[in-house]
């Protein structure tokens, strides 16, 4: 499964992040219960580098509680005064090598992220 999270979720949830997190967690629990492999990528607008901030940590716990781990560990949006990691890819696939990272580009204000599974031949 490859769900994509983007700004369109705000149409449904408005500014109620907790409502979104609760619905999203229900999906992750079902995926986990059915032992399905999953990648979730998106512009979460929550800075994972601010892991000490209660709001950010609590919102990302929905992933960790469902055995989903981030593949990106570098800032994806850099300005002259900030560096944030708000775009990420989370997965529960840990059985083979995954190559992931960011493309540094000035095409947008966010760096694109990628992931590739590397299977043994």
Could you read off the pLDDT of 24-67 as tens digits, one per residue?
888 899 998 999 999 998 888 788 888 666 566 667 788 888 99
In sequence order, the 6+-apart residues with CB closer than 8 A to the CB of 13 are 19, 20, 23
CA distance 57 to 77: 19
What CATH number is given for 4-118 in this structure?
3.60.10.10
Domain ranges of the chain: 4-118
CA distance 65 to 57: 12
CA distance 60 to 72: 14
pTM above 0.85, yes or no: no
Give the pLDDT band (50/70/90) at residue 13.
Answer: low
In this model, does residue 4 exceed pLDDT 60? no
Compute the half-sphere exposure of residue 115: CA atoms within 13 Å on the CB side of its CA: 22
Top-confidence range, 13-27, 47-61, 101-115:
101-115
């Amino acid at each position: 499964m490859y769900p994509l999270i983007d700004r369109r979720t705000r149409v449904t949830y408005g500014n109620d992040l907790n409502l979104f997190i609760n619905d999203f967690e229900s999906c992750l629990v079902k995926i986990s219960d059915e032992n399905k492999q999953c990648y979730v990528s998106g512009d979460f607008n929550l800075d994972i580098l601010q892991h000490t901030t209660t709001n950010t940590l609590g919102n990302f716990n929905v992933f960790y509680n469902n055995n989903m781990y981030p593949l990106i560990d570098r800032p994806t949006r850099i300005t002259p005064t900030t560096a944030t990691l708000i775009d990420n890819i989370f997965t529960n696939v840990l059985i083979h090598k995954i190559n992931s990272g960011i493309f540094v580009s000035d095409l947008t204000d966010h760096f694109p992220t990628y992931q590739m599974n590397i299977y043994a031949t």
